[in-house]
Structure 1
């Protein structure tokens, strides 16, 4: 472990919670930041706060409801269905979300003397989201450094992992069951294994099944 400081962009979901434990293993001091952008399920913020408290991680919540107003999407609007038409982005994509989240996380990081910003973005299972691509992260890292004259490092431990490999990482960190039982990934706001039907639940369950079968364990239900 080194003794530098990190800020984790933290939603309380599978990916960001795995990243939180990854950061806790690697950095001397870790803080988490959650963004309240008007998402339909406020439980997301509550789950993140509960996990951070249990892990004795200082937790910041930043209000960003303007994002939901500027970029209507299925995660903030009940009247927009969760769907993806061929050749277009899913309705769960929020324009500018990672750009804004990481920019605000960087501002926070500089104020508290943290160089490292940890995010769970992933180009392998990214549903076509352009702001989950490695090229975007590298570009933003340069921009943030230039904007604030501060040596940020954006850490992306999941960038080249599929969901099965993300579960494998959680297992290596000794938190697979914690991540499975305590996190909220479901687009319908159901903790743990979720509704089982939405795209997020399907991706999560398929990845878990693939990992468990590879390990010779029993597969996930549903």
Structure 2
């Protein structure tokens, strides 16, 4: 893969930034694509832009506001509370988001001569999102190749990792401090460790604490 070109679906958060470092370690040339879908805070896009600039990779923003026009969810509406209830989809679920993002990322990849797509979805810590599952990604990979007569490969480096293992991967890639300090995962738009209260922050910070504890004890995976 070292001689090939890849596109990272990039938000500037912990997962996609870890994937970006993974891509830089595995591909000759890496580009990023970020989506403006009317998210609660535009700081996410600016954070992604700054990271891409610092790491010296190209940065493309695609307008996906139509997602916000078609459905109401807590990712795009600040008047909807961020909630997670057992047995129900989280209020942050945006129907079709990853399907659309990866499809448009493939169109962009085709335009710049890349055939590898990297996304930070995970079935281990996926909050119940159906479009983060491995079977969806494999199915979409087949569909994209049929639809575009292409040879795309969708890579999911985090698919079977929990959050502590994602931190471990970042550390292995020499990016632990960078990811910890410069990414934005928080639903309330607070960078680094975030607000500490929303589900994204709780998952991120508990994962980091677990990894650092394991590392200190010499039992990190």
Q: TM-score, normalised by structure 2?
A: 0.97
Aligned to 1:111: 111
Aligned to 1:89: 89
CA distance in 2, matches of 1:88, 1:171: 33
Aligned to 1:63: 63
CA distance in 2, matches of 1:86, 1:24: 37
Aligned to 2:100: 100
Which contiguous aligned blocks of 4+ residues in structure 1 show a shift greater than 4 angstroms? Answer: none
1:1-222 maps to which residues of 2 (within 5 A)? 2-216=2-216
Moved more, 73-82 or 128-137: 73-82
CA distance in 2, matches of 1:50, 1:192: 14
Aligned to 1:220: none
After superposition, the CA RMSD in angstroms is 0.8
CA distance in 1, matches of 2:39, 2:97: 12
CA distance in 2, matches of 1:150, 1:84: 38
What SS does the aligned partner of 2:177 have? Answer: helix
What are the ranges of 5 or more consecutive residues in structure 2 without an aligned counterpart?
none
CA distance in 1, matches of 2:40, 2:204: 20
CA distance in 2, matches of 1:85, 1:124: 17
What SS does the aligned partner of 2:114 have? Answer: coil
CA distance in 2, matches of 1:170, 1:87: 31
Number of residue-to-residue matches in the alignment: 217
What's the CA shift for 1:96?
A: 0.2
What SS does the aligned partner of 2:33 have? Answer: strand
What SS does the aligned partner of 1:127 have? Answer: coil
Q: TM-score, normalised by structure 1?
A: 0.96
Q: Deviations over 1:35-56 (max 9, x none)?
A: 0000011000000000001111
CA distance in 2, matches of 1:87, 1:210: 26
CA distance in 1, matches of 2:179, 2:71: 30
What's the CA shift for 1:84?
A: 2.0
Q: Deviations over 1:141-173 (max 9, x none)?
A: 000000000100000000000000000000000
What SS does the aligned partner of 2:154 have? Answer: strand
What's the CA shift for 1:86?
A: 2.9
CA distance in 2, matches of 1:18, 1:85: 28
What SS does the aligned partner of 1:30 have? Answer: strand
